[in-house]
Amino acid sequence: MRRLTPLALLALLAAFAVAACGGSDGGSDEGGTTAVEKPTVPAGAVAVVGTETITQEQFDQLYASAVKQGEASGQTAPEEGSEEEKTLKQQVLQSLVQNAEISQEADARGIKVDDKRVQDDIEAFKLQCCEGKDKKFETYLKDQGLTVAALEEQFALRQQAQALYDEITKDVTVTEDEAKKQYETDKDERYTTARSRKVAHLLVDVKPKGESTDADCVRAEEILKEVKANPGDWKKLVKKYSADPGSKDTGGEYDITDDENWDADFREGAFGLAAEGDITDPPVKSQFGCHIIKALGPITEATTQPFDEVKQQIIDELTQTKKNEVATKWFEGVQKDFAAKTAFAAGYDLPPVQTTETTTAETTG
């Protein structure tokens, strides 16, 4: 599905982590029993959101910019009347509606825009996208269907959105006990390094190749006799016989870890060797064939980072998660409040209401 770039959408959803966005509801209140009088959409406008009117010109400019941004990234412009065009127009309207809601909420809380910061942000963006060069910047804006004035408006709104986010989440805290609980939950997966060992192997995979059969181990037993008879020729024998293209030219060497990244049977054989220089006898059968495994070093035991080393990292992560949850709930309330104060011109509406599962799939896809 076509997506507007973060600048076109002002990255407001990223700031507020909104899980679901509502479509137009036909004009009834939350209970559905009492009619709510919607504002009147004047001629030349596509929507009214609270005290703000979204004009046809605003909509057309943002839609054209979205199309150009898609084309600049290799997408084709949606055909007139297509489902893709309808979806893109709904996304454009949705961004304009949310921008209007954020702007009015910021104004109501007395959050002002620092014009100097806006210009500083423009210069930083110019440096990032265009090496700070005027000509490159002009070309970029043209290709993206943007203007300096549009960027100024976007950065101003982003500034207000960030200020709102900071104000709404300023009281969010995470205790050390909460961090410790999270540490215990994630300790094995995130903070523990599995035991490891340096080994080398010679993989035998005879006909039918690509399948693990008893024939592989019959042949591996024959090669093992040659390995034992010529212990100094290990690398030559690996190069001659091994079916592992990733290691046969380097003596079959690997640094392995005792985790699911490695075949379970291979791990059992490798970590079962008592000392450096020991070789598996008999060879080890795995899903890939049959292995002659040689220990090249001792086992390095698993290690776990102490809680104190990662405590602040966990607190920071949990704090961010809590802040996003608080901001999400707040913005959902804002959208509900504005629903009764929002009206659309004929032919214009928001995307259908999405479930959290649907939104998550689209966001991560």
Same domain, 347 and 270: no
Tokens for 315?
């607190």
- Return the CATH number at 119: 1.10.4030
- Return the CATH number at 222: 3.10.50.40
pLDDT of residue 14: 39
Same domain, 72 and 133: yes
What number is the average pLDDT over the span 200-223?
95
| Residue 185 belongs to a domain | no
Same domain, 166 and 17: yes
Same domain, 334 and 239: no
Same domain, 281 and 329: no
pLDDT tens-digit series, residues 131-189? 999 999 999 999 998 999 999 999 999 999 999 999 999 999 999 999 999 999 999 99
CB atoms within 10 A of CB 346: 7
- Total-model pTM: 0.71
Same domain, 79 and 216: no
Same domain, 121 and 199: no
Report which of residues 101 and 29 the model is more confident about. Answer: 101
User: Do 224 and 280 form a contact (C-beta atoms < 8 A)?
Assistant: no
What number is the average pLDDT over the span 308-317?
98
| Residue 186 belongs to a domain | no
Tokens for 166?
């900071």
User: What is the Cα–Cα distance from 87 to 192, expressed in whole angstroms?
Assistant: 45
Using the 3D structure, point to which of 247, 265, 295 is the last residue of a domain.
295
Same domain, 357 and 231: no
Query: Among 105-109, 150-154, 359-363, which is the least confidently predicted range?
Result: 359-363
Averaged confidence pLDDT in the chain: 88
Same domain, 358 and 289: no
Instruction: Label residue 330 by pLDDT band (50, 70, 90).
Output: very high
pLDDT tens-digit series, residues 275-305? 999 999 999 999 999 999 999 999 999 999 9
User: What is the Cα–Cα distance from 192 to 304, expressed in whole angstroms?
Assistant: 4
| Residue 183 belongs to a domain | no
- Domain holding 136, by residue range, is 6-173+314-364
Same domain, 21 and 114: yes
| Residue 190 belongs to a domain | no
| Residue 343 belongs to a domain | yes
Same domain, 201 and 165: no
Query: What is the 3-state secondary structure of the chain?
Result: CCCCCHHHHCCHHHHHCCCCCCCCCCCECCCCCCECCCCCCCCCEEEEECCEEEEHHHHHHHHHHHHHHHHHCCCCCCCCCCHHHHHHHHHHHHHHHHHHHHHHHHHHCCCCCCHHHHHHHHHHHHHHHHCCCHHHHHHHHHHHCCCHHHHHHHHHHHHHHHHHHHHHCCCCCCCHHHHHHHHHHHHHHHHEECCEEEEEEEEECCCCCCCCCHHHHHHHHHHHHHHHHCHHHHHHHHHHHCCCCCCHHHCCEEEEECCCCCCHHHHHHHHHCCCCCCECCCCEEECCEEEEEEECCCCECCEECCHHHHHHHHHHHHHHHHHHHHHHHHHHHHHHHHHCCEEECCCCCCCCCCCHHHHHHHHHC
| Residue 42 belongs to a domain | yes
| Residue 180 belongs to a domain | no
Q: In total, how many domains does the chain have?
A: 2
pLDDT of residue 181: 98
Closest CA to 328 of 105, 17, 10: 17
| Residue 244 belongs to a domain | yes
